[in-house]
Amino acid sequence: MLHIACPWCGLRAQSEFTYANDGTLIRPDLSNDSIDDHYNYVYARDPRRGIQDEMWRHSAGCGQFLKVRRDTLTHEIHATGAPQDDLDVPKDDRS
C-alpha cells in the first residue's frame, strides 16, 4: 500500500512497482574475475531495520528501475531517484 514517487512518472501506487534488488549494489567490473567480489555482489546483503536503499522497477508504468530510500520499520519513503542517482544529494542538485 505504499505510494512510490517514480522519478519520471510521479507518485504511483505500489501495485505498479516490483521490488528488484538491493539498491546499493555495483556489479564487479567485467574484467574482475574475483570469486569473492562476485560472491559479495550476489549474496552479501546488509538489510536494515530502518532506512535502506532499494532498487525497484516501475514495472506496470514506464518500466524504469529506480532507487528507493525506504524505512523498513515505518514504511516511510524518504527519497527516490534514478538508478545512478546519489540520494544523499538533493534532487535539484543532481547532475
Report 9-28 residues binding Zn ion (CB under 5 A).
9
Q: Nearest Cα to 43, choosing from 69, 22, 19, 66?
A: 22
Write out the three cell numbers for 69: 530510500
Q: Which region, judged by CB under 8 A, interacts with other proteins, from 32-40, 44-52, 87-95?
A: 32-40
Question: CA 5, 6, 11, 13: dihedral to nearest 10 degrees?
Answer: -100
Closest approach of Zn ion to the CB of residue 67, in Å: 13
95 binds, among other proteins, Zn ion, none (CB under 5 to 8 A by kind): none
Report 22-81 residues binding Zn ion (CB under 5 A).
58, 61-62
